[in-house]
């Protein structure tokens, strides 16, 4: 049996952070029962960014991995062009070659940004599509076939606009987040300012189409049309929820009454768009979008790591082990038995 460990466990067994409520000795002993311990490449990138000003801690972790080969193995991310073991070999074997080390930092940072950018971009685009499908499902009897076609066409226009103008902002936000050591709350709020305006635009587009208009006709509307549209916007709960969330940073987007439409939207999206993603990732994204739309959750950096870990669920005799209670709670939503197993494992390494 193999074990895929999260970054928190890696830091503790390498002894670079306070143990807190966990026992390092118990962690190491529990991990010794596995044939192989897998460390995600993303955990190595987290190590580099969190301890970029503390080279001693980085070297300590990598020496720990190297001294415990072949039992400990770094699992590469499925993007070609970078071999994670280069990190271990260059730093440990050439600790005094400052120029090479700084070049390596740059490469690690670039790939970390690349991976996180693409996953967050995917989550935003998926959220836009699912949002539109929910509106479509909720109002299926209020649109003519032509109006429905026009609305769904506007979804693709919005995604195209997002790719053209907002993806550069997302990349810049991630670079600033790491280079200026911003707080996680700052990153979550910045991602919100990218997603929510897209959802607002689609909501307004829906109302315009409902009244026989589109965004290109806004400037030429008659006073009567403007009054009708403004009244419809003010009475639209979803739009008011979006504006409130933009203003306060809190609140749900949809009321719980939309839950049935949400389930149908996930089924439709899964059938058409998620054919290449394993079932566990689909269940994770379903829970993620449910929390975004109904519980006021914001997209965050941890969503990237969590979604990547789920690529290994039920795969190649790998058991996922995590000290992250938030991650285990999400797993509980679609596999309570697995989540209980993870919780029971955590209890065996408590320092008591």
- Output the average pLDDT for the chain: 82
40-57: pLDDT as tens digits = 888 888 888 888 778 889
Three-state SS letters, 11-64: HHHCCCCCCCCECHHHHHHHHCCCCEEEEEHHHHHHHHHHCCCCHHHHHHHHHH
pLDDT score recorded for residue 93 = 60
From the centroid of its chain, how far is CA 109? Answer: 18
Both structure tokens of 88: 């271990």
pLDDT for residue 298 is more than 80: yes
Q: How far apart are the C-alpha atoms of 320 and 107, rounded to whole Å?
A: 28
105 vs 346, residue with greater confidence: 346
Q: Which has the higher per-residue pLDDT, 295 or 27?
A: 27
Per-residue confidence (pLDDT) for residue 24, from 0 to 100: 94
- pLDDT in the model for residue 350: 94
Residue 270 or 238, more confident: 238
Return the top range by mean pLDDT from 8-22, 68-82, 98-112, 116-130: 8-22
Confidence of residue 58 (pLDDT cuts 50, 70, 90): confident
What pLDDT score was predicted for residue 81? Answer: 45
**At residue 352, does pLDDT exceed 50?**
yes
Say which residue, 271 or 229, is predicted with more confidence: 229
Is 206 within 8 Å of 151 (Cβ atoms)? yes
Range of lowest pLDDT (29-33, 107-111, 141-145, 209-213): 141-145
Domains in the chain: ranges and CATH: 2-96+322-347 (3.40.50), 112-304 (no CATH)
**Residue 82 — pLDDT band, cuts 50, 70, 90?**
very low
Residues 6+ apart with CB under 8 A from 248: none
What percent of the chain has pLDDT above 70?
Answer: 84
The neighbouring-strand residues paired with 36 are 2
Per-residue pLDDT at 209:
82
Question: Which pTM does this prediction carry?
Answer: 0.81
Mean per-residue pLDDT, 168-194: 91
What average pLDDT does range 137-155 have in this prediction?
A: 75
For 147, counting Cβ atoms within 10 Å of its Cβ (0-12 exposed, 13-18 middle, 19+ buried), the class is middle
Beta bridge partners of 350: 22
Q: Which of 1-15, 188-202, 221-235 comes out lowest in average pLDDT?
A: 221-235
């Amino acid at each position: 049996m193999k074990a895929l460990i999260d970054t928190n466990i890696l830091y503790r067994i390498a002894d670079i952070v306070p143990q807190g409520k966990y026992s390092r000795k118990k962690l190491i002993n529990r991990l010794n029962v596995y044939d192989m311990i897998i460390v995600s490449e993303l955990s190595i990138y987290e190590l580099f960014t969190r301890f970029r000003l503390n080279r001693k801690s980085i070297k300590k972790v990598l020496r720990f991995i190297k001294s415990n080969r072949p039992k400990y193995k770094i699992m590469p991310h499925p993007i070609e062009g970078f071999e994670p073991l280069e990190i271990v070999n260059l730093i440990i074997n050439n600790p005094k070659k400052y120029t090479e080390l700084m070049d390596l930092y740059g490469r690690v940072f670039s790939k970390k940004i690349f991976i996180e950018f693409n996953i967050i971009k995917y989550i935003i685009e998926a959220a836009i599509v699912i949002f539109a499908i929910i509106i479509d499902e909720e109002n299926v009897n209020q649109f003519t076939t032509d109006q429905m076609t026009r609305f769904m066409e506007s979804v693709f226009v919005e995604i195209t606009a997002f790719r053209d103008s907002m993806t550069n902002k997302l990349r810049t936000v991630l670079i600033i987040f790491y280079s200026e050591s911003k707080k996680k709350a700052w990153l979550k709020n910045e991602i919100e300012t990218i997603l929510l305006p897209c959802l607002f635009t689609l909501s307004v587009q829906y109302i315009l189409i409902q009244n026989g208009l589109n965004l290109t006709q806004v400037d030429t509307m008659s006073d009567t049309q403007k009054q009708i549209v403004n009244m419809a916007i003010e009475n639209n709960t979803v739009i008011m929820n979006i504006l409130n969330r933009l203003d306060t940073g809190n609140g749900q987007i949809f009321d719980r009454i939309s839950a049935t439409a949400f389930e149908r939207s996930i089924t439709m999206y899964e059938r058409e768009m998620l054919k290449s993603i394993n079932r566990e990732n689909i269940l994770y994204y379903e829970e993620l979008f449910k929390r975004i739309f109904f519980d006021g959750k914001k997209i965050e950096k941890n969503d990237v790591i969590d979604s990547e870990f789920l690529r290994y669920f039920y795969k190649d005799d790998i058991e996922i082990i995590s000290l992250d209670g938030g991650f285990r709670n999400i797993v509980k939503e679609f596999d309570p038995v697995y989540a209980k197993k993870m919780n029971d494992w955590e209890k065996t390494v408590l320092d008591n």
